[in-house]
């Protein structure tokens, strides 16, 4: 749809300034492989993200859109809490972790009594524009976005495995999607599938253990899976790329030993216990 031109040049200038200011927020580095993205079909993409390779810059409008989504999702928890008890929401979010803390996820809460009894389900809230929302409504979460489905499976799996806060069996999750265009809601009950959970757990371990980028899932740069990948330039045109975020993940001195990370620099060989940081001796790794 063509954008309608505005009649006020000052207004246009202010709009551009706001978008530009949004891009100046400091980027957070990744501290782990995230349960929210491990369901993506390409392990190589997960590896670039985990290793903190610089993703393609986002424009200010898209960054604002994500921020608006976060606010809407927080509001949805409030709306739901008018009707149900929700534990571990907001600042008390539940964190699940595995593989020495290098595989992590944060659930939006635990919702009590959705069937009228004392059942407790994992709660996950997402938001989307109208066209994506329609796909979720027509096809459900598993068929519409596998990353969200796998994320829920991880939360249910780890809640049971770790008996999180005494929640020994959380085998159902409530997925709620908010339509950002008209505030319609799509709600779905997702059942625990142990096979999906164990595959995600193993996949995360492969990503963490991999000394070099795993094989590509896409066959060529123009494949649909690669077209929207944040790391496609590293993947297909790495000689054109410059790494600005200097953390251990992209450093040539990083040594991976099973699921632990070591610095192999001759002056200070040590175990790396805080992922997502670096030091002045950083040198770019030579990866395939
Ligand atoms: S560009 Fe394609 S193959 Fe490369 S990491 Fe991204 S999705 Fe995977
Ligand atoms: S040299 Fe510095 S950046 Fe490189 S692996 Fe060691 S601690 Fe990390």
Q: Give pLDDT tens digits for 200-242.
A: 999 999 999 999 999 999 999 999 999 999 999 999 998 888 8
Mutation test residue for ligand 2: of 51, 249, 250, 253, the one with most atoms within 8 Å of CB: 253
The C-alpha angle 113, 118, 122, rounded to 5 degrees, equals: 60
Answer whether 261 contacts ligand 2 (Cβ < 6 A).
no
For ligand 2, the distance from its centroid to the CA atom of residue 276, given in whole angstroms, is 11
**Residue 183: left (phi > 0), alpha (psi -120 to 50), or beta?**
left
**Pairwise CA distance, residues 284 & 288, whole Å:** 13
286 φ, ψ to 5°? -100, 100
22-209 has CATH 3.30.230.70 classification: no
Q: Are the CB atoms for 49 and 231 separated by under 8 Å?
A: yes
Integer CA distances (angstroms), 5 to 8, 27, 59, 114, 218, in order:
9, 32, 19, 47, 38
* Closest by CA position to 32, among listed 107, 102, 105: 102
CA of 219 to the centre of ligand 2 (A): 33
What are the tens digits of pLDDT across the range 93-131?
889 999 999 999 999 999 999 998 888 999 999 999 999
pLDDT tens-digit readout, 21-49 = 877 777 788 899 999 999 999 999 999 99
Helices (H), the chain: 9-23, 43-50, 60-81, 130-144, 146-161, 194-209, 224-227, 232-236
CA geometry: angle 216, 234, 220, nearest 5 deg: 40
40 lines ligand 1 (CB under 6 A): no
pLDDT digits (tens, 9 = 90+) for 140-149: 999 999 999 9
Q: How remote is the CA of residue 47 from the centroid of ligand 2, in Å?
A: 18
Q: What are the tens digits of pLDDT across the range 45-89? A: 999 999 999 988 778 888 888 888 889 988 999 999 999 999 988
109-119 pLDDT tens trace: 999 999 988 88
Ligand 1 near 44 CB (within 6 A): yes
């Amino acid at each position: 749809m063509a954008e309608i031109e505005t009649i006020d040049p000052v207004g246009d200038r202010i709009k551009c300034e706001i978008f530009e200011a949004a891009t100046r927020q400091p980027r957070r580095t990744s501290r782990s492989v995230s349960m929210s993205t491990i369901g993506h079909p390409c392990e190589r993409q997960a590896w670039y993200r985990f290793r903190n390779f610089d993703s393609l810059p986002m424009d200010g409008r898209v960054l604002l859109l994500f921020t608006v989504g976060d606010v809407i999702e927080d509001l949805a928890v409030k709306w739901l809490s008018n009707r149900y008890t929700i534990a571990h929401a907001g600042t008390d979010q539940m964190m699940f972790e595995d593989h020495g803390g290098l595989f992590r996820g944060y659930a939006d809460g635990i919702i009590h009594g959705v069937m009228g009894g004392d059942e407790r389900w994992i709660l996950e809230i997402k938001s989307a524009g109208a066209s994506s929302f329609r796909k979720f409504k027509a096809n459900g979460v598993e068929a519409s976005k596998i990353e969200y489905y796998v994320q829920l499976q991880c939360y249910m799996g780890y809640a049971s495995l770790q008996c999180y806060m005494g929640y020994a069996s959380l085998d159902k999750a409530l997925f709620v999607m908010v339509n950002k265009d008209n505030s319609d809601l799509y709600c779905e009950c997702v059942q625990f599938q142990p096979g999906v959970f164990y595959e995600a757990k193993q996949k995360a371990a492969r990503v963490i253990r991999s000394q070099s980028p795993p094989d590509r899932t896409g066959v060529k740069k123009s494949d649909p899976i690669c077209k929207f990948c944040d790391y496609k330039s590293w993947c297909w045109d790495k000689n054109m790329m410059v790494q600005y975020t200097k953390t251990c993940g992209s450093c040539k001195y990083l040594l991976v030993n099973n699921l632990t990370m070591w610095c192999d620099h001759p002056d200070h060989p040590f175990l790396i216990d805080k992922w997502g940081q670096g030091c002045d001796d950083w040198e770019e790794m030579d990866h395939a």
